């Protein structure tokens, strides 16, 4: 059943997924300058904040642990990606449950400007009632087995699994700070969040390694991306 989404529902910060927020980086910046060498990664013209140059006692969750809890509010999708999804509706439909196969209901009419996506504008996926899912709601593309229909369809077509995935889905739980740099929320907040995609680990792991698949897919990590010392890096 599709929710009757009012403008109040769509504008509530408790309902819409986070796209970008402020991140306290003073301490992170000081610690990052003690790390060498540093990898500098540029993704769609956006550089990493010092936060991602650290190591944390974190690990990824598994689907069996989280049941795609992060999908409860749907996601903002770049308009050119939404157009591509609709253009391939016939390829995606078979991987959705029958009640979600009306492609005209996949997105809400609301649009927002967004300077961090190539199209400059985003549209929101429809949120549907899902009593068995965390929070009782889910993105319309989430299947009963907690897999994303967009990802399943991409794999079935022989494409990269993230080919149809929206930018902010691929990015999550990474985020963008106020300067548009890739960052990650504070560890305490991440671990306290019931829908977090991260879990505590007994050992430290470099964040750039934890998120290596995302960085590799969204950006370019080449020899030119590495600097020889922290002093050479522009961490402002």
* Percentage of residues of the chain with pLDDT beyond 70: 73
Indicate whether 55 belongs to any domain: yes
Say whether both 101 and 121 belong to one domain. Answer: yes
For the segment 6-63, what is each residue's pLDDT rounded down to a tens digit? 333 233 333 334 443 333 333 333 333 333 334 455 655 567 888 888 899 999 988 8
**Whether 123 contacts 77, CB under 8 Å:** yes
Say whether both 74 and 125 belong to one domain. Answer: yes
Which of residues 235 and 90 earns the better pLDDT score?
Answer: 90
Question: Is the pLDDT score of 166 beyond 60?
Answer: yes
Say whether both 93 and 113 belong to one domain. Answer: yes
Indicate whether 137 belongs to any domain: yes
Rounded to an integer, the average pLDDT of 72-80 is 95
Work out the burial of residue 5: count CB atoms within 10 Å of its CB; fewer than 13 is exposed, 13-18 middle, 19 or more buried.
middle
107-113/76-78 β-pairing: unpaired
Say whether both 70 and 142 belong to one domain. Answer: yes
Task: Give the integer Cα–Cα distance in Å for 70 and 38.
Answer: 30
Query: 198: domain range?
Result: 7-60+173-232
Say whether both 177 and 189 belong to one domain. Answer: yes
Say whether both 47 and 87 belong to one domain. Answer: no
**How many domains does the chain fold into?**
2
Residue 21 dihedral angles phi and psi, to the nearest 5°: -160, 170
Q: How would residue 187 be classed by pLDDT, with cut points 50, 70 and 90?
A: confident
Indicate whether 154 belongs to any domain: no
Say what the pLDDT of residue 44 is: 55
Catalogue the E-assigned strands of 6-97: 38-39, 42-43, 46-47, 55-60, 76-78
Domain boundary among the residues 148, 164, 196 is at 148
Say what the pLDDT of residue 41 is: 57
Task: Give the integer Cα–Cα distance in Å for 114 and 167.
Answer: 12
For the segment 77-122, what is each residue's pLDDT rounded down to a tens digit? 999 999 999 999 999 999 999 999 999 999 999 999 998 888 899 9
Say whether both 43 and 74 belong to one domain. Answer: no
Indicate whether 1 belongs to any domain: no
């Amino acid at each position: 059943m599709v929710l009757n989404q009012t403008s109040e529902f769509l504008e509530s910060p408790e309902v819409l997924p986070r796209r970008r927020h402020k991140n306290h980086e003073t301490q992170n910046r000081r610690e990052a300058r003690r790390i060498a060498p540093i990898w500098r990664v540029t993704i769609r013209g956006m550089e990493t904040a010092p936060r991602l140059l650290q190591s944390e006692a974190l690990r990824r969750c598994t689907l069996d642990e989280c049941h795609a809890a992060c999908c409860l509010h749907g996601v903002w999708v770049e308009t050119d990606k939404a157009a591509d999804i609709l253009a391939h509706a016939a390829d995606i439909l078979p991987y959705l449950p029958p009640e979600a196969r009306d492609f005209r209901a996949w997105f809400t009419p609301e649009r927002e400007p967004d300077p961090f996506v190539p199209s400059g504008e985003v549209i929101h996926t429809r949120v549907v009632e899902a009593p068995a899912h965390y929070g009782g709601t889910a993105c319309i593309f989430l299947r009963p087995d907690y897999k994303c229909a967009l990802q399943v369809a991409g794999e079935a077509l022989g494409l990269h699994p993230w080919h149809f995935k929206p930018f902010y889905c691929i990015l999550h739980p990474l985020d963008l700070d106020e300067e548009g740099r890739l960052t990650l929320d504070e560890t305490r907040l991440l671990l306290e969040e019931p829908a977090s995609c991260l879990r505590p680990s007994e050992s430290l792991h470099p964040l750039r390694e934890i998120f290596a698949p995302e960085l590799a897919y969204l950006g370019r990590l080449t020899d030119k991306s590495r600097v020889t010392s922290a002093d050479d890096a522009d961490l402002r």
